[in-house]
Amino acid sequence: MPKDIIIDCDPGLDDAVALLLAAGDDRVNLLGVTTVGGNQSLEKVTYNARAVLGLAHADDVPVRAGCPRPLVREGRVAASIHGDSGLGDVELPAPVRPFDPGHAVPWIIDTIMAREPGSTTLVAIGPLTNIALAARLEPRIVDRVREVVLMGGAVHTGNSSPVAEFNIRTDPEAAHIVFNEAWPITMMGLDLTHQALCTREVQAGIDALGTDLARTVSKLIDGYRAAYRQDRAFPNPPIHDPCAVAYVIDPQVVQTCRCPVDVELQGALTLGMTVADLRGAEPGPDECHTQVGMQLDASMFWQMVTAAIEKLG
């Protein structure tokens, strides 16, 4: 049976690929998409989410806008990577589905509470503001969620700072709440997502599909590649967010390590660092509710992404 998922996101070039993967793989059932201010403003990322779902012929999927800024701090965007629109210089057709009214956080709560316990997975690929508020407003969802799979954090090197990743650093207080709830958490941090490099060979495989959708995805990747070369000196861009969706589809695509993880809130130089305790033997799931992705099967990952784009095209 397909796994029921809610994607909380801030599209974002890599978020767009994550949405296409979720829409194009029958092993997951996309219940809805919620948006949060992050890569760009809430207005822009919500528009982008609706436009990408339209591109995927998934206009039946509801999209609800959530929090425009972090819980405590000022908002920040990643225009140097994702551009002024959030999707680089690629213009998608305008969304057909009318705007879904209502705030994302109550919708997340209501959807989880209406479904069987353990049947809904939260896939969080932006700042964790919406997820933290949902857990605080209705603590009962924590026991009802099957798992939280998030793209964020890093065991070793960050990108927003030497030790902190963008999603976590944008709203560290929200991340602290989410990591300290009792639900199972799988963290897809930079150690893992930097292995999801879109090489020229990978992009050629997408181009070979020859569909309008494949050409659009390739244009998105072109913009992402140029931004990463200029901003981070990466010859090939890491496509972060689809790693979280891919893990939900088939956990064998990622090797994980179970370890305690917490979020630094006090350090002047380490704010937003995800501190993973790798000192001892790997604890069991009854002892530790957090695990981190360490090794990606890149070939399997790109096969999944390419197959989804082919199916949607």
Give the residues across from 8 on adjacent strands.
34, 124
The reported pLDDT for the residue numbered 164 is: 98
Mean pLDDT over 23-30 rounds to 98
Token readout for 270 is 């380490």
Contact predicate 190/158, CB 8 Å: yes
Instruction: State the pairing for strand pair 28-35/63-65.
Output: parallel
For residue 36, the one-letter residue type is V
Mean pLDDT over 112-117 rounds to 98
- The phi, psi pair for 180, rounded to 5°, reads -95, 0
Q: pLDDT, tens digit, for every residue of 169-225?
A: 999 999 999 999 999 999 999 999 999 999 999 999 999 999 999 999 999 999 999
The reported pLDDT for the residue numbered 281 is: 87
Is the pLDDT score of 236 beyond 90? yes
Q: Confidence band (pLDDT; 50, 70, 90) for 92? A: very high
Say how far apart CA 211 and CA 31 lie, in whole Å.
26
CA dihedral 267, 179, 37, 240 (to 10 degrees): 100
The reported pLDDT for the residue numbered 232 is: 87
**110-131 per-residue burial string, b: 16 or more CB within 10 A, e: under 16:** ebbeeeeeeebbbbbbbbbbbb
Query: Which pTM was predicted?
Result: 0.97
Q: pLDDT, tens digit, for every residue of 253-308?
A: 999 999 999 999 999 999 999 999 999 889 999 999 999 999 999 999 999 999 99
Is the pLDDT score of 99 beyond 90? no
The reported pLDDT for the residue numbered 16 is: 98
- The phi, psi pair for 16, rounded to 5°, reads -60, -45
Give the residues across from 187 on adjacent strands.
150, 292
The reported pLDDT for the residue numbered 301 is: 98
Q: pLDDT, tens digit, for every residue of 45-76?
A: 999 999 999 999 999 999 999 999 999 999 99
| 240 flagged as catalytic | yes
Q: pLDDT, tens digit, for every residue of 32-44?
A: 999 999 999 999 9
- The phi, psi pair for 240, rounded to 5°, reads -65, -60
The reported pLDDT for the residue numbered 275 is: 98
Please name the residue that has the structure tokens 């602290």: 176
Average pLDDT, the chain: 97
Report the SS3 class of residue 148: strand
Contacts of 287 (CB under 8 A, 6+ apart): none
Choosing from 82, 156, 194, 240, the catalytic residue is 240
CATH number of the 3-312 domain: 3.90.245.10
Mean pLDDT over 123-138 rounds to 98
Is the pLDDT score of 97 beyond 90? no
Token readout for 32 is 């809805």
Say how far apart CA 8 and CA 75 lie, in whole Å.
17
The reported pLDDT for the residue numbered 163 is: 98
For residue 307, the one-letter residue type is A
The reported pLDDT for the residue numbered 39 is: 97
Mean pLDDT over 150-167 rounds to 97
Q: Of 40, 96, 32, nearest to 64 (Cα)?
A: 32
The reported pLDDT for the residue numbered 98 is: 86
